[in-house]
Amino acid sequence: MSKSEKAEVIMKALGFTRAELKAMTTPDDGDKRLNRLYEMAKDKVDKAVDTEWRQTQTLSLS
């Protein structure tokens, strides 16, 4: 996944503006900050999907 694709995921999932994201991810060795923020965003999305899925399963069992 490209840097710009990761940036889009981060901004949408964590609610950052492009300027905020740029300030937090100044160039560093191997884009560690960008990758860490991407992992945080991915975890947040995964948890939201899991929660929604569990709610759907609970409703279907009722």
Which parts of 1-62 fold into alpha helices (H)? 3-14, 18-24, 32-61
- 62 vs 58, which has greater pLDDT? 58
Rounded to a whole number, what is the distance in angstroms from the first to the last CA of the chain? 40
Confidence of residue 62 (pLDDT cuts 50, 70, 90): low
- Residue 54: the pLDDT is 86
pLDDT tens per residue across span 10-58: 999 999 999 998 888 877 777 888 999 999 999 999 999 999 888 888 7
Residues 6 or more apart from 18 whose CB is under 8 A from it?
Answer: 7, 11
By the 8 A CB rule, do 18 and 7 touch? yes
Taking the C-alpha atoms of residue 41 and residue 10, their distance in angstroms, rounded to an integer, is: 5
Cα–Cα distance for residue pair 34/60, rounded to 1 Å: 39
pLDDT at residue 42 in the model: 94
Residue 59 has pLDDT above 80, yes or no: no
